[in-house]
Amino acid sequence: MTAKLIDGAALARSIRQQCAARAKTLTEAGRQPGLAVVLVGDSPASAVYVRHKINDCKEAGIRSVLDHLPADTTEQALLARVRELNEDPSIDGILVQLPLPKQISEQRVIATIAAHKDVDGFHVANAGALMTGATGFRPCTPYGVMKLLESAGVPLAGAEAVVVGRSNIVGKPQAMLLLQSDATVTICHSRTRNLAEHTRRADVLVAAVGRAKMITADMVKPGATIIDVGMNRDENGKLCGDVDFESVAAVAGAITPVPGGVGPMTRAMLLVNTLEAAERASAGGT
């Protein structure tokens, strides 16, 4: 391996410590930050994610409230609970863990969360704010990727950045954040012709498609920075990303591992967004 390893776990620890200091300041002023996490159903993967998020809150001094609802919860009942949390002044951020059971519209749930408590950054008002450069919450994964690039000293102004994936949660907002940092951005997806021609031009390559080891060494520009957002299982059931780590690490200049790269940063930026919401509320704004 020749690539420099970009350690998301270490950076996330540092951010949690910073968050703890900010939370302590607010709490001592009489207002402990609060995050409500709503989990519907019994998905083991979702339960693990939620447990990690609650542990992170505890470490950072943020009060967390877990609502674990049964899998047969109706959309009406979930929306009613979200509206209650919108009105609760002790709750600064609301996170409804995705995916949701099939009887519930994710879009309707996201639209019902008050924009000033949407610490996931998925609400259309926050998506619009990101698009136009206004103040709003940035989605946690792309936000975490930007912090990783910053920590690694990756120059973005004028750089060729390629994002593989166009989801509302990662791909699209990632492209907007890179564009705000003056990168020249290409978005690729399942219908892109000659994907490797695009990826080989990238100074910065962000892989966010959810296909194990899809990005191989021959698709990477020598010396490029590779950010692997994927979280998959390989043929042996081992956790892996969208990037074939071993082969790509021999070509790239810097690379994030899976696990220990983007994942911890996604959770860290949730804390950052929750504290930002609490600080705004404490200052009398939304």
pLDDT digits (tens, 9 = 90+) for 124-156: 999 999 999 999 999 999 999 999 999 999 999
Matching residue, tokens 């402990």: 32
Residues 58, 154 within the same domain: no
pLDDT tens-digit series, residues 38-97:
999 999 999 999 999 999 999 999 999 999 999 999 999 999 999 999 999 999 999 999
Check whether 286 has a pLDDT greater than 90: no
105 and 150 share one domain: no
pLDDT at 42: 94
What range defines the domain where residue 79 resides? 30-114
Q: Where among 114, 129, 152 does a domain terminate?
A: 114
Q: Do residues 89 and 191 share a domain?
A: no
Q: Are residues 49 and 99 in the same domain?
A: yes
Residues paired with 34 in a beta bridge? 63
Whether 192 and 235 map to the same domain: the answer is: yes
Residues 88 and 44 in one domain: yes
Q: Is residue 123 part of a domain?
A: no
Is 274 among the domain residues? no
The reply to whether 249 and 215 lie within a common domain is: yes
Q: Is residue 281 part of a domain?
A: no
Our count of domains for the chain comes to: 2
97 is catalytic: yes
Question: In which band, very low, low, confident or very high, does the pLDDT at 285 lie, cut at 50, 70 and 90?
Answer: low
What CATH number has the domain bearing residue 97?
3.40.50.10860
Active site includes 120? yes
Annotated catalytic residue within 56, 92, 97, 174? 97
Amino acid 14 reads S
Dmax (CA) of the chain? 57
Q: Is residue 4 among the annotated active site residues?
A: no
From the candidates 56, 92, 118, 120, which is the catalytic residue? Answer: 120
